[in-house]
A and B are shown apart, each in its own frame.
Chain A
Amino acid sequence: MSALAGVLAQAPLPVDVVSTGEAVAFWILGPLALAGALAMVFARSAVHSALWLVLTMLCLGALYMVQQAPFLGFVQIIVYTGAIMMLFLFVLMLVGRDSADSVVEVLRGQRVAGLVAGLGLAGLLASTLGRALTDVTPVGLAAQNQRGGNVDSIGRSLFTDYLFPFELTSALLITAAVGAMVLASTSRDRARRPTQRGMMEARLRGERASPLPGPGVFATANSVATPALLPDGSVAPESLSEIIDSTTRESLAADVLSVSGAAHQADAHALRGPEAAADEAIGRPPGEVSPE
């Protein structure tokens, strides 16, 4: 029994026959992959496009496994749908998630021309492949996958025949990582931002060490359009706004008069009422109730 199994396992299959199970898998997964691709192209939202592409890639991974390439099938699912498509989704969330395609056609008739070109390409490729590969008998990978399986064979080939390209991919990957860090880094140029010491020196060696007067100091309004008044009633020239030139001296005349003391003095008891003023006049402490 075991000898028979050994003979069966070692017998090379000269012709690869597509089994019924594989045909069923193909006719389920193939249209699903095609539908996912079409929906990706014609979906309005970019996030929906990404999810449809995930469906297509999952179907392709399953098709790889059906086609005696289980290693590539798993790499497809892990790397493509697991890493690359999630990276796409991250970038979509950062970049225009809601930025729909513009309806303005920069080149007139480009969409129609693109559709026609795509249909032409599909027809050309399909007819060429269909005519060229009619009498091809597939050899199949049973002999290749026999020694330790598909992963073992791919690993042996990768580290012997394809060792140098495999080493080159490490350089490619590290270049891509560094490039992405350089391109996508958001750090501002810190050398150009002045330090606290630099700001202090610039201020002390400049024309004015004290801060500029705020708008409306000693004036009746806090608006930016109201310049500050100096204690003698004149307008502080530093506080004149360069942007707002509608400030006239005439509109400040009342403020100037009140600051310089020429106008009627403000009543100190205006907020407390005449009763408090009377209390203060006879020397009684405020808050005490009068005896009557």
Chain B
Amino acid sequence: MTPTYYLLLSALLFSVGAVGVLVRRNAVVVFMCIELMLNAVNLTLVTFARINGTLDGQIMAFFVMVVAAAEVVVGLAIIMSIFKTRRSASVDGANLLKY
């Protein structure tokens, strides 16, 4: 076994997250799938840090976590305000810009 297996695992997790973003309708679940994709990329960064023998990948993963935390806070606030005005958390409901 080599660390390549970690990369394969993260590729699979990223694909699962992408499928979730494409398939699910609930905005909160779509957001959770985005978090899963970010986590998969973090696993890739940690594995590459190990392969390269430097800590830069781990620090990059740390920054990804910080940005993800900020993104989650703002995104969930947006979902809540959309829910307050539309009484629905479905991503199909918000289509006012369509026409």
Contact = CB atoms under 8 A, between A and B. Distances in A.
Interface of A: 16, 18, 22-23, 26, 30, 33-34, 37-38, 40-41, 46, 49-50, 53, 56-57, 60, 63-64, 67-69, 71-72, 75-76, 79-80, 83-84, 87-88, 91-92, 94-96, 99-102, 104, 106, 110-111, 113-115, 117-119, 121-122, 125-126, 129-130, 133-134, 136, 138-141, 143-144, 150, 153-154, 157-158, 162, 165, 169, 172-173, 175-177, 179-180, 183-184, 186
A60 B39 contact: yes
B3 A67 contact: yes
Given A69-B61, A75-B62, 15 more contacts: A18-B1, A30-B9, A34-B13, A37-B17, A63-B43, A67-B46, A79-B69, A99-B89, A101-B29, A117-B22, A118-B15, A118-B16, A136-B51, A180-B77, A186-B84
Given A30-B9, A56-B39, A173-B70, A37 B16 contact: yes
Given A84-B35, A172-B66, A176-B74, A60 B81 contact: no
Contacts of B2: 18, 133, 136, 138
A92 B72 CA distance: 13
A183 B22 contact: no
A106 B94 CA distance: 12
A68 B76 contact: no
A101 B24 CA distance: 7
Interface string B70-97: 1111101111110110001110100000
Given A125-B15, A129-B7, A60 B43 contact: yes
Q: Helix, strand, loop or mixed for chain A's interface?
A: helix
Question: Considering residues A23, A95, A133, which has the most beta carbons from chain B within 10 angstroms of its beta carbon?
Answer: A95
Interface of B: 1-9, 11-20, 22-26, 28-29, 31-33, 35-36, 39, 42-43, 46-47, 49-56, 58-59, 61-63, 65-74, 76-81, 83-84, 88-90, 92
Contacts of B74: 176, 179-180, 183
Q: Helix, strand, loop or mixed for chain B's interface?
A: helix
Contact of A141 (B25, B32, B50): B50
B66 A169 contact: yes
Contact of A144 (B13, B54, B61, B69): B54
Contacts of B88: 96, 99
Given A95-B28, A114-B22, A41 B16 contact: yes
A111 B18 contact: no
Contacts, number: 248
A113 B19 CA distance: 9
A130 B8 contact: yes
Question: Considering residues B2, B18, B28, which has the most beta carbons from chain A within 10 angstroms of its beta carbon?
Answer: B28
B65 A80 contact: yes
A140 B50 contact: yes
A37 to B, nearest CB: 4
B80 A122 contact: no
A3 to B, nearest CB: 26
A142 B4 CA distance: 18
A157 B55 CA distance: 8
